Amino acid sequence: MISRTQRILFWTLLVSSVLMSIVLLRMRERALDRLLASAETMPLNPPAGRPVQSVTIMIANDMDGSLQPAYQNLALPLDDNARAHVILQHLIADYSRPSSKHPIAANKGVNEIFFMGLPADATHTSPGTVAIVDLSGSFVEAHPSGIEPETLTLLSIIGTLHANFSQISQVRFLVDGQQRDTLAGHADLTRDYLASDAPGVKHL
Amino acid sequence: MHKMQPIFGCTLLVGALLAGAQQPAATSPAAPAANSPAAPAANSPAAPAARAAPRFVVVIDAAHGGADNGARLSDRALEKDLVLTLSVRLRSMLGAHGIYVITTRESDAAIPAVNRAEAANHAGAAACITLHATTSGSGVHLFTSSLTQIPATRFLPWETAQGAYAEQSLRLSSEIDTAMTHAEIPVTLGRTALQPLDSFTCPAVVAELSPLHGAATVTQLSDSAYQDRIVAAMAAAVEQWQHDWRQQP
pLDDT tens readout for residues B136-164:
999 999 999 988 888 888 888 888 899 99
The chain-wide mean pLDDT, for chain A, equals 86
By the CB < 8 Å criterion, does B177 face chain A? no
Name the residue of chain A whose CA is nearest to B190's CA: A65
Taking the complete model, does pTM exceed 0.90, yes or no?
no
Contact assignment for B137 to A65 by CB distance below 8 Å: yes
- Kindly tell me if the per-residue pLDDT of B128 is higher than 90: yes
Rg for chain B, CA atoms, rounded: 18
For residues A132 and A204, which has the higher predicted lDDT (pLDDT)? A132
SS3 A73: strand
Q: What is the pLDDT of residue B245?
A: 84
By the CB < 8 Å criterion, does A62 face chain B? yes
Contact assignment for B190 to A151 by CB distance below 8 Å: yes
Comparing A164-173, B38-47, B184-193, which segment has the lowest mean pLDDT? B38-47
Q: What is the pLDDT of residue A106?
A: 76
- Kindly tell me if the per-residue pLDDT of B50 is higher than 80: no
Q: What is the pLDDT of residue A42?
A: 54
Contact assignment for A197 to B3 by CB distance below 8 Å: no
Q: Report the range out of A38-52, A114-128, B23-37, B43-57 with the highest average pLDDT.
A: A114-128
What sign for the dihedral angle of Cα B143, A144, B132, B162?
Answer: positive
* Chain A CB contacts of B193 below 8 Å: 187-188, 191
Domains of chain B: 27-32+54-247 (3.40.630.40)
- Kindly tell me if the per-residue pLDDT of B49 is higher than 50: no
Q: What is the pLDDT of residue B158?
A: 87
Q: What is the pLDDT of residue B209?
A: 96
> What would the pLDDT profile of B83-119 be if each residue is shown by its tens digit?
999 999 999 999 999 999 999 999 999 999 999 999 9
Average of per-residue pLDDT across A41-64: 77
Q: What is the pLDDT of residue B15?
A: 36
Q: How confident is the model at residue B28 (pLDDT cuts 50, 70, 90)?
A: very low
Comparing A163-167, B81-85, B88-92, B192-196, which segment has the lowest mean pLDDT? B192-196
The chain-wide mean pLDDT, for chain B, equals 81
Percent of all residues in chain B with a pLDDT value above 90, rounded to a whole number: 65
Preferred mutation among B1, B131, B192, B212 to probe A, highest tally of A CBs within 10 A: B192
Contact assignment for B71 to A193 by CB distance below 8 Å: no
Beta-ladder partners of B212: B219
Contact assignment for B134 to A148 by CB distance below 8 Å: yes
Q: What is the pLDDT of residue B202?
A: 94
Q: What is the pLDDT of residue B73?
A: 93
* A94 neighbors A57 (Cβ within 8 angstroms): yes
Name the residue of chain B whose CA is nearest to A192's CA: B3
Preferred mutation among B134, B135, B187 to probe A, highest tally of A CBs within 10 A: B134
Q: What is the pLDDT of residue A124?
A: 56
- Kindly tell me if the per-residue pLDDT of B31 is higher than 80: no
Beta-ladder partners of A131: A115, A171
- Kindly tell me if the per-residue pLDDT of B38 is higher than 80: no
* φ, ψ of residue B154 in degrees (nearest 5): -65, -35
Q: How confident is the model at residue A131 (pLDDT cuts 50, 70, 90)?
A: very high
Contact assignment for B136 to A148 by CB distance below 8 Å: yes
* A76 neighbors A55 (Cβ within 8 angstroms): yes
- Kindly tell me if the per-residue pLDDT of B5 is higher than 80: no
> What would the pLDDT profile of A64-87 be if each residue is shown by its tens digit?
999 999 999 988 888 889 999 999
Contact assignment for A147 to B206 by CB distance below 8 Å: yes
ipTM reported for the complex, 2 dp: 0.76
Alpha helix stretches (DSSP H) within chain A: 4-40, 80-95, 137-142, 147-164
Amino acid, res. B70: G
